[in-house]
Amino acid sequence: MAKKDLGVKPYLFPMPVLMIATYNEDDTVDVMNMAWGGICDNDKVALNLSENHKTCENLKKRGAFTISVADVAHLEESDFFGTASGNTMKDKFERTGMHATKSTWVDAPIIDEYPITLECTVDKIGNEDGEFRVVGKILNVLADESILDESGKVDPTKINAFVFDQFQNGYYRIGEKVGIAWNSGRKFMNK
């Protein structure tokens, strides 16, 4: 199979669509759509951001945030959160008609409409090579009962999540189970 060099691009797929929620200095809600982040340890998340975002100022001042997995039912609102700037649009969150509840674990809002939310405190903030990096400690995960299976575990097919495609700037629904982790490739263990 022929391959073609594409140069240096941020081409990994899938990229999660993560919603980072913080409080502004006046206790209003700020939400940012972020693709460059994810789990980096059993109880930690990593965020890679541009420091000019309102969210970064809030992270420094409040030391807390929530991360929600965006779902297809709220794709338009989620996309808007990645388009509008909290620095220039003070009513950004209110424009969507979404709702927020204060976390009982951290000083940050939980966006009620998203099905799963990680409640985090800021563990480390760093600036390297012009990139603003945050490591957050997960204190709790909050999930809608509608996405749990009969044993109380999150059923990923019920989240109705979507991912970002950096190749063509698309969003794609995910959810079909096609294998079992740490089992599907077991046949190669005894070769």
- Per residue in 80-97, pLDDT (tens digit) is 999 999 999 999 999 999
Within a domain: residue 52? Answer: yes
User: In Å, how far are 152, 157, 170, 182 from 147, measured between CA atoms?
Assistant: 9, 8, 25, 23
- pLDDT tens for each residue of 96-115: 999 999 999 999 999 999 99
Domain count, the chain: 1
Mean pLDDT on 131-154 = 96
Within a domain: residue 5? Answer: no
The per-residue pLDDT of the chain, averaged, comes to 94
Cβ–Cβ < 8 Å for 103, 90 = no
Give yes or no for residue 161 having a pLDDT over 90.
Answer: yes
Give yes or no for residue 6 having a pLDDT over 90.
Answer: no
Within a domain: residue 67? Answer: yes
Q: What is the CATH number of the domain that holds 180?
A: 2.30.110.10
Measured CA to CA, the distance from residue 122 to residue 138 in angstroms comes to 9
Within a domain: residue 7? Answer: no
Measured CA to CA, the distance from residue 30 to residue 22 in angstroms comes to 5
- CA-nearest of 176, 14, 33 to 114 is 33
Within a domain: residue 31? Answer: yes
Within a domain: residue 3? Answer: no
Predicted TM-score of the model (pTM): 0.93
Within a domain: residue 46? Answer: yes
Per-residue confidence band for 177, with pLDDT thresholds at 50, 70 and 90: confident
Of the two residues 131 and 29, the one the predictor is more confident about is 29
Measured CA to CA, the distance from residue 148 to residue 101 in angstroms comes to 21
Measured CA to CA, the distance from residue 190 to residue 31 in angstroms comes to 49
Mean pLDDT on 119-146 = 94
- Domain holding 100, by residue range, is 15-190
